[in-house]
Structure 1
Amino acid sequence: MAASKKDNAETKATKKPNPALMKPLQPSTELAAVVGSSPLPRTEVVSKVWEYIKANNLQNPENKREILADDKLRAVFGGKDKVSMFEMNKHFAQHLS
């Protein structure tokens, strides 16, 4: 068993990043209001949205996993006032092409 755990750890360490995640995508007008209008990889979109959330204090203080949408994020989140951090990427997919 110990050998298989070591092999598994080595496999994870040598895993290459998914090139699909690194491909720059064009944000929609709604998402561009938060992250800017130039094409960005998904990873960068998520980072910029988190910067925006933290800068504008949009995490629910009682439940940090919940994002409280302001007007800009409400447009991205399909009109919802709050979404979970796990739901966010699903909404981003509809705003990237």
Structure 2
Amino acid sequence: MAMVELDKYVTMIDAIISVSDPYQVSPKKIRKAIQELFAVDLTPNRKEMNDLILERFNALQENPMVFVSKELMEDKDEEIALRISENDKKIKRDSDNESSKRQARKATTRKKRKTTSARTPSSNGINAKNVILSDSMQEFLGEEALPRTQVVKRVWDYIKEHDLQNPKDRRQIICDEKMKPIFGKSLDMFQLTKVISKNLLNPDELVNGDTLIKKGGKSSKEIPKSEESSEE
């Protein structure tokens, strides 16, 4: 994976950094959160990813609008959903532009002709691809399938709307009765992305439209609630 391909995660990296304590967050934690959220293995590109995370961390620290004080940092929680939404739009625009360029290079006599393929997102649009939600997540969000970033956005919208963040440590989420079947009694931001990821599945992992293929050869219609895991 080239460095340029890692750039697609910049907006999500920024969103995670913006709601984290700069004295406790680490490249390892952010990298794992990205891996869990997008279901990718970044181990072969660990150094490049860590360098990118540090680069974004330093850039955000130098920006007084992002890291001014702990109190102001708490307000950044409200921006994570917006950043995710903006990332969806940016990836869609980038994908459209790339597709348009490819069509322009191939065209010889009809350079100005508009084609539907010029509007088709490329394989880099990982954020825009729909995934299947577990039964519990479907009940929680009222949708059967959504892009990963939209799932995160809507979970955060719910958290903010119902004021479920610990006022003493806004990285911690105190779950209400509706969230508990999926997320348990409480969890932090990094655990949140992990649990969300375990309740999402790519459509090609479905059998007969409603059964999940899981590791070990077992199958189930429901994705199990994840257990909290410690950092390696």
TM-score, normalization: structure 1?
A: 0.73
Q: For the residues of structure 2 that align with 1:69 and 1:38, how far apart are their CA atoms? A: 22
Deviation at 1:21, TM superposition (A): 3.1
Partner of 1:26: 132
Residue 189 of structure 2 aligns with an amino acid whose one-letter code is: M
Q: For the residues of structure 1 that align with 2:142 and 2:134, how far apart are their CA atoms? A: 10
Deviation at 1:36, TM superposition (A): 2.0
Partner of 1:87: 191
Deviation at 1:50, TM superposition (A): 0.5
Partner of 1:53: 159
Q: Identify, as 1 or 2, the structure richer in helix.
A: 2
Please list every run of 5 or more consecutive structure 2 residues that lacks an aligned counterpart in the other structure: 9-90, 92-123, 202-232
Secondary structure, in 3 states, of the residue corresponding to 2:165? Answer: coil
Deviation at 1:29, TM superposition (A): 2.0
Deviation at 1:82, TM superposition (A): 0.6
Deviation at 1:22, TM superposition (A): 2.4
For residues 38-93 of structure 1, the C-alpha deviation after alignment (integer angstroms, 9 at most, x for no partner) is: 3111100000001100111111111100011112211112xx21100111111011
Larger Rg: 2
Could you say what the CA RMSD is over the residues aligned between the two structures, in angstroms?
A: 2.2
Secondary structure, in 3 states, of the residue corresponding to 2:179? Answer: helix
Q: Percent identity?
A: 35
Q: Which has the higher contact order (CA 8 A, sep 6+)?
A: 1
Partner of 1:72: 178
Q: Which one is further off, 20-29 or 53-62?
A: 20-29
Residue 94 of structure 1 aligns with an amino acid whose one-letter code is: K
Please list every run of 5 or more consecutive structure 1 residues that lacks an aligned counterpart in the other structure: 1-7
Residue 87 of structure 1 aligns with an amino acid whose one-letter code is: Q
Q: Identify, as 1 or 2, the structure richer in strand.
A: 2
